[in-house]
Amino acid sequence: MVMTTLTIQDVLSFGCYKSSSKKVDRDAVLPFIILPLLLLVATLSRTITIIVMIFIGMGALYVHSRPRQKNRSPFFFSWTLSSGVWMFLIFEIAVLRLLEITQLENFAFLLLLICTCYFFYKMKAIADFELATGSSKGKEYSPVLTSDSQYCQICQIEVNDRFFHSIWWNCCVLRQNYLYFLTGQILAFATILFVTNLGLTTVCQPFLLYGVILLPENCEDVYFEFQLAISFVSCAYGLGYLCIITLVLIRQILVFIPKFIAPRWRKLVNVDV
C-alpha cells in the first residue's frame, strides 16, 4: 500500500495556486462586464456620459502612473479586447438597424477591422516566439545579451532589442514586431475614426463637409431613445480611444521610429562612405 502524505506547505501552496488562477480568470473577465455597465449608465443623460468618460480616462491615466510591476495582470489586455468587441457589437446591432449605413460602408469597416486584428495578432505571436526561442530571449534563457537589452518589470525578464512593454496588449514590443505594432495602431486609428464618424452621422444630424464627407452637427435628441443613446455613447467612447491612439502615434514618431530606423540609417551611411 502506498501512503501519500501532505504537508501544510503543500496544502497552502495548492490553495494559493487555486486562488491565483481564480484571480487571473476574474481579471480577464471583469472588463467584459464593467465596460458595458459603464456604457449603459452613460446613456442616461449627457452629463452622466461626460462623467463616465472622464472616469474611464482618469482610470487609464492612473494605470499608466503606477509602477510598472503593478500592471502585471491580464485585466488591461482584456479591457482592450472588450472595447473592440462591445463597440463592434453595438455598431452591428444598434447602428446598422437604423438602415442608414450602406453595405459598402459596412464592408469597408469590416475590412479595416480584419486588417487591424491581423497585425496585432502577428505582433503578439512574434513577441511570444522571440521571447521564448528567438534572438530576443533574455537572461533567463541565455547569458549573451546585446547592448540594447533591457529588463522588463512586467515580464520579469531581460529582453534584447526591447522598445517597451504594452500592458494593453500584454506583450513586449521588440524590434522584430515593431512594424506590426505600428501598422496595427495606424489601422486601429483609421478603423475607429471611420466607424465613429459613421455612427455619429447616423444618430445625429449631419452636415456636408466636402463632397460625400459628412460630419455630425446636432446630437441633442439622442438620449430620447435607447438605441440612439447607446450608439452615441459607444461612438463617444470610440473618440476617447481615438485620442489615446493619437498620443501613442505621436510618441512613436518622436521616440521609437527614430530608434527603429537608426541602425539601418547607420548601415546605409557606412555603405555610402
The pTM assigned to this predicted structure is 0.81
Rounded to whole angstroms, the Cα distance separating 233 from 246 reads 20
Joined grid coordinates for residue 53: 468618460
Q: What is the pLDDT of residue 211?
A: 75
Rounded to whole angstroms, the Cα distance separating 184 from 123 reads 8
Under 8 Å CB-to-CB from 103, ≥6 apart: which residues? Answer: none
Q: What is the pLDDT of residue 17?
A: 41
Q: Which residues of the chain have pLDDT under 70?
A: 1-25, 64-72, 133-149, 267-273
Rounded to whole angstroms, the Cα distance separating 197 from 56 reads 21
Q: What is the pLDDT of residue 137?
A: 52
Phi, psi (rounded to 5 degrees) for 141: -105, -30
Q: What is the pLDDT of residue 36?
A: 93
Q: What is the pLDDT of residue 18?
A: 45
- Describe the crossing of helices 103-132 and 178-203 by its angle, rounded to 10 degrees: 150
- Describe the crossing of helices 8-42 and 46-65 by its angle, rounded to 10 degrees: 150
Rounded to whole angstroms, the Cα distance separating 267 from 273 reads 10
Q: What is the pLDDT of residues 105-157, one digit of tens each?
A: 999 999 999 999 999 999 999 888 877 765 555 444 444 445 556 777 777 77
Rounded to whole angstroms, the Cα distance separating 133 from 85 reads 32
User: What is the residue type of 230?
Assistant: I
Joined grid coordinates for residue 33: 462586464
Q: Residue 244 CB: number of other CB atoms within 10 A?
A: 14
- Describe the crossing of helices 178-203 and 226-251 by its angle, rounded to 10 degrees: 150
Rounded to whole angstroms, the Cα distance separating 112 from 17 reads 41
Q: What is the pLDDT of residue 129?
A: 83
Secondary structure of the chain in HEC code, one letter for each residue:
CCCCCCCHHHHHHHHHHHHHHHHHHHHHHHHHHHHHHHHHHHCCCHHHHHHHHHHHHHHHHHHHHCCHHHHCCCHHHHHHHHHHHHHHHHHHHHHHHHCCCCHHHHHHHHHHHHHHHHHHHHHHHHHHHHHHCCCCCCCCCCCCCCCCCEEECCCCEEECCEEEEECCCCEEEECCCHHHHHHHHHHHHHHHHHHHHHHHHHHCEEEEEECCEEEEEECCCHHHCHHHHHHHHHHHHHHHHHHHHHHHHHHHHHHHHHHHHHHHHHHHHHHHC
Q: What is the pLDDT of residue 68?
A: 59
Q: What is the pLDDT of residue 172?
A: 86
Cell numbers 491612439 label which residue? 245
